[in-house]
Amino acid sequence: MKAQRGSGRGINGGQCRKCMDLAIFGAQGMALGAWEAIHNLYPIRNIRCFLVTERGNNGKHLSGIPVLELDSFAKALSAEEKANIEVLIATPENMMPGIETSLEEHGLPCHVRLTSPRWSELMKCYYVCDKEYMPLRALPVGYHRADMHVFMAKFHLDKPLAGRYDLPEWITPIQVGASQSSRRVANILDCDGENISAKNGNYSELTALYWIWKNRLLYPSDSLETEYYGLAHYRRILELTEDDVLRLADNEVDVVLPYPLLYEPNIEEHPKRYLKTEDWEAVQRAVREAEPEYAGEFPRILKQKYFYNYNIILARKGPGRILRMAVSHSGAGGRTQYSGKREAVGPLYRLCGRNSCNLVFFVSEETAEYYACRVQIFDIRTGS
């Protein structure tokens, strides 16, 4: 049957979706990233505004687009206008059901969730066009299979996942904070060998990273060119296919990271939003006092716009070099629990310290920035 060009009208006489105005619900990294991708990939879509339940700490504009409270936005629309606006929900997935209910109550029936798979597909399309940091799946499949060793951090108080998923053989669970509990949730414990398991309350999953460094990476290897080590979480993993594993070594990929979140004007907005002012100032003082040489790079990193969340990384094993680092972590109640430390994050540089590539890793909750190394970006699978 031959397809015919439509009249531009949709179901029940409504506009076709591509002609509808678009509102993005959310005003943080995921929402801003969605705006940038859609704006560049699909300029035909008119992105009308960002929507939030309450303005709170959100600015009045993002990328020149107004940030509006849902209640006032809905009251200014007629019933016909509401039927011809699509709302893209770009928030953490646990918030989406409540947002859908609120949109329905405000008479906005056309809405869709930007779920993790949809986000990944949108980001893949965007970064393929951008070409600065290509998605892993944009590279040709190679012949040599990478020797993969990814450790998945688990904690004895982790909440059960709503659904189960099968782990590939190259992901090995490791229990973090194992010295603080007699309950066992993994065969490998971060309290065995050389460790800082007792400091898990301060360093979270970075105690697993320290364990990988001291108990795996310091031993010699005959396969540096194809051996990869990484860190993931019990509900967040890099979702790699067998073809992706074949893409790593033959394309000389050094580092694989999750797709970044975008912040405006830069990633310093994240710690400013989630840390108390006095705590953030204490972190900056600690950097200047403990690592004055690195302190000069600190502001430059914070002025970058891409935010790499979750402390998830896959990197080729190689000879490490000394890298000065600074750490900040938001604990319960937003209090800074540690700063100016190096011992837990030093191994991250060892993961990709080959060919003089230079990875700068700064943690403020969880964020990473890098330069001068071949980096691939990839999606992560998130359990709930």
pLDDT of 59 strictly over 80? yes
Distance, in Å, from the CA atom of 268 to the CA atom of 270, rounded to the nearest integer, reads 5
Alpha carbon dihedral 136, 141, 146, 148, in 10-degree steps, equals: 50
Banded pLDDT at 356 (limits 50, 70, 90): very low
266 and 302 Cβ atoms separated by less than 8 Å: yes
pLDDT of 321 strictly over 70? no
Distance, in Å, from the CA atom of 57 to the CA atom of 34, rounded to the nearest integer, reads 20
Q: Does domain 16-114 have CATH number 3.40.50.20?
A: yes
Q: What are the residue ranges spanned by the domains of the chain?
A: 16-114, 129-382
Q: How far apart are the first and last CA of the chain?
A: 43
The pLDDT score that the predictor gives to residue 383 is 54
Task: At 129, list the tokens.
Answer: 């066009």
The pLDDT score that the predictor gives to residue 172 is 96
Banded pLDDT at 285 (limits 50, 70, 90): very high
- Least confident stretch, 37-41, 227-231, 273-277: 273-277
Instruction: Give residue-wise pLDDT tens across range 82-98.
Output: 999 999 999 999 999 99
354 and 342 Cβ atoms separated by less than 8 Å: no
The pLDDT score that the predictor gives to residue 372 is 28
Cβ contacts of residue 222 below 8 Å, gap of 6+? none
**Secondary structure (H, E, C), 51-87:** EECCCCCCCCEECCEEEEEHHHHHHCCCHHHHHCEEE
The pLDDT score that the predictor gives to residue 18 is 53
The whole-number average pLDDT for the span 49-57 is 94
The pTM (predicted TM-score) of the whole model is: 0.76
Banded pLDDT at 341 (limits 50, 70, 90): very low
Q: Which residue has the higher pLDDT, 301 or 51?
A: 51
Percent of the chain with pLDDT strictly greater than 90: 50
| 3-class secondary-structure state, position 178 | helix
Mean model confidence pLDDT for the chain? 80
Q: Prior bond to 265 cis, omega within 30?
A: yes
Pick from 47, 51, 54, 56: which is nearest to 20 by CA?
47
Burial (Cβ within 10 Å: 0-12, 13-18, ≥19) of residue 202: middle
pLDDT of 377 strictly over 90? no
The pLDDT score that the predictor gives to residue 26 is 97
The whole-number average pLDDT for the span 317-346 is 36
